[in-house]
Amino acid sequence: MGQLEHPDSGADQARWRHRHWYDRLMLLSDGVFAIALTLLAADIAPPMQPGASIAAIWTALGPQLDAYALSAVVIGVFWLAHRRFMAMTLTVDAPVTVITLVMLALVALIPAATRLADHQQGSPAAMLTYSGLVVAIGVACAALWGYAALVAGLVVKEVTRAQRWFFFTPDPDHTASLPSVDGRARASAPWARAWHADRALPHRLADAGVDRSPPRPG
C-alpha cells in the first residue's frame, strides 16, 4: 500500500526512468540552492558584548549584511537561470547531470567564499577568489544550457535554434512563441518569459509525449 508502481513495458520504463532522473536532479538542485542561502544567514555573527548599543550592533552587522545581500542575489540569479533552463528542458541525460553537479558543487562554495571576502575586506586575493567562483558558476550554467539546447537538443520545440543562442536577450519573439497565460498580454522581459515558460510547460510536455506526473500508486 502506498508503493510506487514500476511500469512493465519498455516504453513506459524508459519514460518512467527519464522522469525519475529529471525529478531527482531538480530536487537535488533546489536543495543545494536552499542550503547555500541558509548557510549564508547562519554565518552572520552579531556582536556578543552585553549591553551593546543599536549603533554598535549595526556597525558590526553592516559589512556582514552587505556580503549576505550580495551573495543572496548571486544565488538567486543562478537559481532563476537554472529554473528557466530546466523549464525548457524535456529530459536529462548523463552530461546534463554531470554539468549540473559541477554547477551545484560551485554554488555550495558561495557561503565559504562570502565568509572569506567578509573576513578579509579589501583583500584583492579574497575578492578575486569570490569573483572567480561567480564566473565559474556562470560558465557551468552556460555550459548546461549550451549542451542541452545546442548539442543534445533536449529543449522544447517552441524554442528555435536562433532563440537558443540568444536566450538571455529580451527577445519579444521568444515570448510570442509561448502559449498565452490567463489571456493577458505577454511581456518581453526575461523573467516574464521564464514565468510563462514555467506555466506553459505541462502543455508542451503533453504535446511532446513526455509525462512527468508522479507514478500511480499500486
- 3-class DSSP state for residue 148? helix
The reported pLDDT for the residue numbered 170 is 42
On the question of pLDDT at 33 being above 50, the answer is yes
Confidence class of residue 5 from pLDDT cuts 50, 70 and 90?
Answer: low
The reported pLDDT for the residue numbered 2 is 43
Cβ atoms of 133 and 75 within 8 Å: the answer is no
The reported pLDDT for the residue numbered 147 is 95
The reported pLDDT for the residue numbered 180 is 36
Least confident stretch, 19-23, 121-125, 126-130, 195-199:
195-199
The reported pLDDT for the residue numbered 10 is 58
How many beta carbons lie within 10 A of that of residue 197, not counting itself?
Answer: 25
The reported pLDDT for the residue numbered 178 is 38
Confidence class of residue 9 from pLDDT cuts 50, 70 and 90?
Answer: low
Helices and strands, number each (H, E), in the chain: 8, 0
How many beta carbons lie within 10 A of that of residue 38, not counting itself?
Answer: 11
Higher-pLDDT residue of 21 and 12 is 21
On the question of pLDDT at 153 being above 60, the answer is yes
Least confident stretch, 9-23, 74-88, 131-145:
9-23
How many beta carbons lie within 10 A of that of residue 199, not counting itself?
Answer: 15
Cβ atoms of 105 and 34 within 8 Å: the answer is no
**121 to each of 62, 130, 185, how far by Cα in Å?**
13, 12, 46
Which of 81, 88, 79, 83 lies closest to 174 in space, CA to CA?
88
Which of 158, 204, 24, 196 lies closest to 96 in space, CA to CA?
24
Sign of the torsion formed by the C-alpha atoms of 157, 162, 166 and 170: negative
Q: For 68-121, what is each residue's pLDDT tens digit?
A: 999 999 999 999 999 989 999 999 999 999 999 999 999 999 999 999 998 898
Which of 161, 165, 156 lies closest to 201 in space, CA to CA?
156
The reported pLDDT for the residue numbered 54 is 84
Q: For 47-68, what is each residue's pLDDT tens digit?
A: 777 777 888 888 888 889 999 9
> Quick one: 48 exposed, middle or buried, by C-beta within 10 A (0-12, 13-18, 19+)?
exposed
Q: For 172-208, what is each residue's pLDDT tens digit?
A: 344 444 333 333 333 334 444 444 544 444 454 455 4
Higher-pLDDT residue of 205 and 125 is 125
Cβ atoms of 74 and 131 within 8 Å: the answer is no
